[in-house]
Amino acid sequence: MVLSDRTIREEIAAGRIVVDPLGENAIQPASIDVHLDKTFLVFRNSRLPYIDVRQSAEE
């Protein structure tokens, strides 16, 4: 699905799209420009259907 800049703004205002921080000129005709840091977090897919917060995060 491609959203227009107007629709992107509407979805942000409604809280259905969240970008934090959202730069003043970040919304483009069909995209949101983001800037990434030098550090990335890589998430490991889990075989568990849910997260049990009572258990250790180590697998």
What is the per-residue pLDDT for 18?
94
The residues facing 27 across adjacent strands are: 32
Residue-range domain boundaries for the chain: 1-59
Query: pLDDT-based confidence at 58, cuts 50/70/90?
Result: low
On whether the CB atoms of residues 17 and 27 are closer than 8 A, the answer is no
> pLDDT of 5-39, one tens digit each?
999 999 999 999 999 999 989 999 999 998 888 88
CATH superfamily of 1-59: Deoxyuridine triphosphatase (dUTPase) (2.70.40.10)
Q: What is the pTM of this model?
A: 0.59
Per-position DSSP letters for 17-38, written without gaps between them: S--SS--TT-EETTEE-----S
Instruction: Give phi and psi for 49, each to the nearest 5.
Output: -75, -10
Residue 37: predicted pLDDT: 84
Q: Phi and psi at residue 53, in whole multiples of 5°?
A: -70, -10
Q: How far apart are CA 21 and CA 13, in angstroms?
A: 14
